């Protein structure tokens, strides 16, 4: 119910009330004098909207993005004018590129100073015009606040996009205007948005069913747009006898303990996913715009059907025979009655055999010795101990590799990372936002030491500030402490053919466990492989957030599912050119590759 304001309230007070009437209960941000009027209104509205103080505006935007990812609600972040607004950009682009609804509210200098090259005056409309291209506007009068808030939230939700509202600090403190004058030039917006039920036409559904029913070797690829459609995905896969690969943002769409789920796809993917795509005769993409077309069937190899809520994503990565614009779950429900159960299960059996072999290979690789700890083992030993309702977040880099391959998602779990922007640093902010949105669920973040030093350590301060409010205090941050910007090091070797450049790649050593203790958290240092499983047990039983400082070997290679001649040649050239860690790197590579050829794990890896 929309509440009336007191006559003495400011435009900022009205803004807070309007946000509350829309259902906003939390804002992530950092204060500054460019938003003093808004901060004062937040103070007066503490019983309605919670302000979560982050250590940096970039973190606030990441947390708003994660809030949207884990709840489906619009995430809201707040920053001051000029430099504070600029700091939001990376996190907002993360939301933009992963199609998450986020509203950014930013301050600006007084309207009387605009155009005068005033201190901290930045052309914010131009600055945000790309990231918030669907809606970015500045209020020049309190009468605009109503429709700016209404449209900013509605468009963010409806378009699954980033929007931005700019409020000069003098406008913030002007008297509130609940309703503009009833005259030419005024507009009277309202509250509320209901998700539409978007389903393709019956004829298109029948055409799609004909293609899928005709296929003998159906491959499904699911992404973030299929989250929440678990039952329908499983039903379709069973009817079609299909294998299911998952784009990384869709890792939680289906459990990994299903025998036909091949896991991740792409450079961070699995061999079964590669085989699935290379051998299929029909491709069914659901809720994903997975970018790497070289990991999809060759053009002309397979007939195609795609479901996506955004028409612009259809036939984008592979030329589809039938394009279905619709909500994934609703479209699958409408499609299922038209699908026939395939009697020949030989394709499904081949997939299941390859998946079984793959998981055996992953265990063997995880248990391969390294100096001091194989990073794969850190993830493998955790996987079987994961609580049933855990929320997982991963940073970009080698942490994402092992999260993609070694963690078995089960039904009821959630997980996310920066998918399309693939930026460093969201791991810890995502985890904090997950705890605010689900304070009764355990949360685990997987982070490299580079991202930890860049932003993650500051996140520990935020965790220390708020953790006692959470019903379940368990928030675990795993730090892969290898002294190396590991993903880029391996990209230098395998993609560019260059040796590791130590000046750019080595990061300063730091005791992350000790730093956690300084924040009143628990720190666990792990330096031996036999300590890994016990460390996870201790962390999962702790009465407060924990940092696991795992000293892992940077020379364990993140092997792609299919090694091309060009990649092998580039790696060889990096060694020939004198990689400083060439002996250990080659040794670990041989160990990893050797596990692929042990005959007891079957012949599906040929």
pLDDT band at 592 (very low <50, low <70, confident <90, very high): confident
pLDDT at 7: 45
Residue 594 has pLDDT above 90, yes or no: no
pLDDT at 2: 56
Distance of CA 445 to the CA centre of its chain: 12
Residue 606 has pLDDT above 50, yes or no: no
**Among 1.10.3720.10, 3.30.360.10, 3.40.50.970, 3.40.190.10, what is the CATH number of 367-598?**
3.40.50.970
The mean per-residue pLDDT over the stretch 102-125 comes to 94
Q: What is the token pair recorded at 231? A: 């039952």
The mean per-residue pLDDT over the stretch 275-292 comes to 97
Which among 516, 536, 540, 541 has a CA at the least distance from the CA of 526?
536
pLDDT tens digits for 84-113?
A: 999 999 999 999 999 999 999 999 999 999
Tell me the CATH class for 11-172.
alpha beta
Angle, to 10 degrees, between the axis of helix 565-576 and the axis of helix 582-595?
150
In percent, how much of the chain has pLDDT > 90? 90
pLDDT band at 562 (very low <50, low <70, confident <90, very high): confident
Residue intervals in the chain for CATH 3.40.50.1220: 202-353
Q: What is the token pair recorded at 341? A: 């159960």
* Domain covering 202-353, topology: Rossmann fold (3.40.50)
pLDDT tens digits for 358-408?
A: 999 999 999 999 999 999 999 999 999 999 999 999 999 999 999 999 999
Burial class (CB in 10 A: 0-12, 13-18, 19+), 191: middle
Neighbours of 464 (CB within 10 A): 16
Q: Is 425 left (phi over 0), alpha (psi -120 to 50) or beta?
A: left
pLDDT tens digits for 512-547?
A: 999 999 999 999 999 999 999 999 999 999 999 999
Residue 563 has pLDDT above 60, yes or no: yes
| Spatial CB neighbours of 563, under 8 Å, sequence gap ≥ 6 | none
Report in angstroms the alpha-carbon separations of 460 from 50, 89, 479, 547, 553. Answer: 20, 22, 12, 9, 24
Helix/strand number for the chain, H first, E second: 24, 18
pLDDT tens digits for 473-514?
A: 999 999 999 999 999 998 999 989 999 999 999 999 999 999
Which among 297, 298, 251, 259 has a CA at the least distance from the CA of 417?
251
Residue intervals in the chain for CATH 3.40.50.970: 11-172, 367-598
DSSP conformation letters of 579-591: -TTHHHHHHHHHH
Neighbours of 514 (CB within 10 A): 12
d(CA 68, CA 348): 36
Q: What are the φ/ψ torsions at residue 433 (nearest 5 degrees)?
A: -60, -40
């Amino acid at each position: 119910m929309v509440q009336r304001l007191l006559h003495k309230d400011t435009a900022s007070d009205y803004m807070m009330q309007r946000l509350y009437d829309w259902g906003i209960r939390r804002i992530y941000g950092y204060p500054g004098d460019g938003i003093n009027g808004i901060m004062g209104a937040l103070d007066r509205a503490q019983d309605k909207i919670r302000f979560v103080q982050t250590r940096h505006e970039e973190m606030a935007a990441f947390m708003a993005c994660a809030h949207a990812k884990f709840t489906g609600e619009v995430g809201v972040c707040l920053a001051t004018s000029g430099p504070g607004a600029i700091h939001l950009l990376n996190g907002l682009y993360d939301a933009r590129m992963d199609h998450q609804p986020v509203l950014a509210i930013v301050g600006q200098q007084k309207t009387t100073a605009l155009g005068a090259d005033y201190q901290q005056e930045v052309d914010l409309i131009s600055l945000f015009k790309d990231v918030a291209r669907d809606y970015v506007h500045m209020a020049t009068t309190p009468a605009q606040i109503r429709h700016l808030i209404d449209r900013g939230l509605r468009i963010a939700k409806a378009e699954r996009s980033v929007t931005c509202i700019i409020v000069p600090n003098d406008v913030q403190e002007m008297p509130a205007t609940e309703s503009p004058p009833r005259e030419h030039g005024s507009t009277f917006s309202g509250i509320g948005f209901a998700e539409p039920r978007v389903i393709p036409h019956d004829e298109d559904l029948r055409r799609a069913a004909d293609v899928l029913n005709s296929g003998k070797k159906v491959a499904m690829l699911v992404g973030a747009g299929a989250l929440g459609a678990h039952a329908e995905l499983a039903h379709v896969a069973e009817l079609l006898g299909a294998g299911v690969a998952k784009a990384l943002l869709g890792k939680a769409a289906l459990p990994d303990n299903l025998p036909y789920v091949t896991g991740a796809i792409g450079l961070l993917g699995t061999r079964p996913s590669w085989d699935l795509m290379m051998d299929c005769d029909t491709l069914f993409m659901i809720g994903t715009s997975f970018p790497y077309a070289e990991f999809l069937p060759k053009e002309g190899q397979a007939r195609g059907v795609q479901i996506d809520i955004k028409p612009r994503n259809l036939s984008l990565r592979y030329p589809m025979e039938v394009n279905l614009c619709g909500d994934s779950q609703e479209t699958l429900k409408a499609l299922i009655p038209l699908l026939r159960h395939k009697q020949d299960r030989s394709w499904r059996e081949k997939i299941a055999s390859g998946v079984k072999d793959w998981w055996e290979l992953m265990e063997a690789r995880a248990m391969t010795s390294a100096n001091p700890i194989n990073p794969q083992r850190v993830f493998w030993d955790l996987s079987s101990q994961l609580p049933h309702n855990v929320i997982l977040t991963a940073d970009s880099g080698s942490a994402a590799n092992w999260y993609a391959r070694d963690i078995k998602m089960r039904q009821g779990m959630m997980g996310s990372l920066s998918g399309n922007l693939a930026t460093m640093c969201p791991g810890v902010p995502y985890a904090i936002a997950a705890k605010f949105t689900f304070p009764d669920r355990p949360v685990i973040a997987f982070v490299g030491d580079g991202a930890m030093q860049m932003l993650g350590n500051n996140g520990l301060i935020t965790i220390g500030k708020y953790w006692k409010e959470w019903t379940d205090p368990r928030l675990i941050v795993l730090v892969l402490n290898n002294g190396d910007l590991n993903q880029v090091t391996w990209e230098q070797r395998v993609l560019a053919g260059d040796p590791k450049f130590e000046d750019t790649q080595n990061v300063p050593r730091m005791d992350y466990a000790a730093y956690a203790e300084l924040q009143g958290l628990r720190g666990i240092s792990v330096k031996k492989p036999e300590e890994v499983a016990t460390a996870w047990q201790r962390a999962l039983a702790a009465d407060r957030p924990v940092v696991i400082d795992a000293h892992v070997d940077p020379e364990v290679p993140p092997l792609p599912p299919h090694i091309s001649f060009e990649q092998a040649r580039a790696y060889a050239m990096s060694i020939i050119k004198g990689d400083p860690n060439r002996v250990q790197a080659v040794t670990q590579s041989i160990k990893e590759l050797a596990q692929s050829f042990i005959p007891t794990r079957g012949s599906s890896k040929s």
